[in-house]
Amino acid sequence: MLKKNFFLTSEYLLADYYPKTSIDTEVILRNVANDIKRSQEHLIFQVKKRETEGKFPVVKPVLYWA
């Protein structure tokens, strides 16, 4: 659910559902959430790195509107 951006559903499961059960899925969800956060932080780092190095490609529109 986290990978599909259902953050509120995931938050509900972590805060309300799993503490009431003995399912170890909470650990799995936390690992997935940490993995997503790590991926996002890496992407932000790469963008900022390219920005400081001036290595952004020049993007031009395919069609020019009249």
Q: Is residue 59 part of a domain?
A: no
Residue 66 has pLDDT above 70, yes or no: no
Q: Is residue 14 part of a domain?
A: yes
Q: Is residue 27 part of a domain?
A: yes
Which structural domain, as residue segments, surrounds residue 48?
7-53
pTM of this structure: 0.47
pLDDT for position 12? 79
Q: Is residue 15 part of a domain?
A: yes
Q: Is residue 33 part of a domain?
A: yes
Q: Is residue 17 part of a domain?
A: yes
Chain-centroid distance of CA 42 in Å reads 10
Q: Is residue 18 part of a domain?
A: yes
Residue 4 has pLDDT above 70, yes or no: no
- Write the pLDDT tens digit of every residue in 6-51: 778 877 777 777 777 766 776 777 888 888 889 889 988 988 888 8
Number of domains in the chain: 1
pLDDT for position 17? 72
Backbone angles phi, psi at 47, to 5 degrees: -65, -45
